[in-house]
């Protein structure tokens, strides 16, 4: 199990107890070995998938220890224990956590400054990001990632409910527009079209697979509320593809697919993709269909190359 960043603090400082310089990547490996992390655990990523969780947690443990003046960084990604850090180890603490660090003046000063700066930046009580509690088991970066996922899930749920209220005709156009924005064909006019409500022969839309139109993909779009799409509906769609001498199709629904339907498409020679309501909402969010951006937050880091002297 990957330890939280507070559990990492004491072993991190103990690794520096010899007073020598230690590189961060070596410290991460040593801490991973100490907690007997598996290969999968060492590679497990944050929800944003931009960094390994263990690297992130070791990094934040280092940051808090540095803010408490228990270690210093003489060179990039290299750390040495301070005199105050040695004194803490000599007291033989059972653990080092935020509560202990808050008793140190340097850390307390940083924490007060952090909270003051946040309040100064806060524009209104409806702000999307709450104050990050320093004694949380997750790092601030993890909290941002998980908060983003929660907001995205809530948006997806609201979005699919809104789509369910649309007319079938509007839903068909929405599906074609989404596929165009995903890169199929060229413009909406050139690449996709929704067929007429009557005499559609089981096909709700047609879209070019590429901008040159070398192949086409047929679409079936079911704006259903709670009804599960079963195998018979998929078989009917496959039959409609036969009528068009087509080999590729996309079946999209605002509800969900039965297991029998999912298993069926695995057994046929035609390429049929199933997209349920959850995936549809996620694709709409990813490609900005039916949504608008409210806020944008940038997470920045130091550009160490900028400070390299020639």
- 58 burial type by CB count under 10 A (0-12 exposed, 13-18 middle, 19+ buried): buried
What kind and span of H or E run contains 77? Answer: none
| pLDDT value at 150 more than 60 | yes
Residues 169 and 99 in one domain: no
* Position 128 confidence tier, pLDDT thresholds 50, 70, 90: very low
| Number of folded domains that form the chain | 2
Residue 113 belongs to domain with CATH number: 1.10.10
Task: Mark whether 109 and 195 lie in a shared domain.
Answer: no
Tens of pLDDT along 74-83?
988 899 999 9
pLDDT for the residue numbered 286: 93
Same-domain status, 274 and 210: yes
Q: What domain range includes position 188?
A: 164-286
> What tokens does 105 get?
């003046």
Q: Is residue 106 part of a domain?
A: yes
Choice between 308 and 196, residue whose per-residue pLDDT is larger: 308
What value, to the nearest 5°, has the Cα angle with vertex 96 and ends 91 and 99?
110
Stated pTM of the model? 0.63
In 3D space, the residue among 166, 149, 190 whose CA is nearest the CA of residue 289 turns out to be 166
The per-residue pLDDT for range 4-13, each reduced to its tens digit, is: 999 999 999 9
pLDDT digits (tens, 9 = 90+) for 60-118: 999 999 999 999 999 888 999 999 999 999 999 999 999 999 999 999 888 877 656 54
pLDDT of residue 153: 86
Predicted local confidence at residue 202, as pLDDT: 58
pLDDT at position 130 is 41
């Amino acid at each position: 199990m990957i330890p939280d960043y507070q559990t990492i603090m004491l072993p991190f400082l103990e690794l520096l107890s010899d007073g020598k310089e230690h590189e961060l990547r070596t410290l991460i490996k040593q801490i991973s070995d100490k907690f007997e992390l598996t290969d999968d655990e060492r590679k497990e990523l944050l929800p944003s998938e931009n960094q390994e969780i263990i690297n992130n947690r070791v990094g934040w443990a280092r940051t808090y220890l540095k803010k408490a003046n228990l270690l210093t960084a003489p060179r990039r990604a290299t750390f040495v224990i301070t005199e105050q850090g040695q004194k803490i180890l000599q007291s033989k603490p059972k653990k080092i956590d935020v509560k202990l660090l808050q008793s140190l003046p340097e850390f307390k000063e940083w924490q007060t400054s952090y909270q003051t700066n946040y309040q100064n930046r806060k524009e209104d009580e409806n702000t999307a990001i709450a104050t990050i509690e320093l004694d949380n088991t997750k790092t601030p970066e993890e909290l941002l990632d998980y908060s983003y996922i929660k907001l995205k899930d809530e948006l997806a749920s609201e979005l699919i409910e809104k789509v369910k209220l649309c007319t079938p005709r509007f839903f068909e156009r929405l599906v074609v527009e989404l596929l165009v924005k995903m890169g199929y064909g060229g413009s909406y006019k050139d690449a996709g079209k929704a067929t007429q409500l009557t005499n559609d022969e089981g096909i709700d839309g047609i879209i070019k697979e590429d901008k040159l139109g070398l192949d086409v993909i047929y679409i079936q779009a079911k704006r259903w509320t709670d009804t599960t799409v079963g195998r018979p509906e998929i078989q009917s769609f496959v039959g409609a593809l036969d009528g068009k001498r087509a080999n590729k199709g996309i079946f999209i629904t605002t509800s969900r697919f039965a297991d029998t339907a999912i298993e069926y498409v695995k057994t046929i020679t035609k390429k049929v993709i199933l997209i349920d309501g959850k995936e549809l909402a996620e694709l709409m969010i990813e490609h900005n269909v039916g949504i608008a951006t409210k806020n944008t937050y940038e997470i920045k880091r130091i550009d160490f190359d900028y400070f390299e002297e020639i």
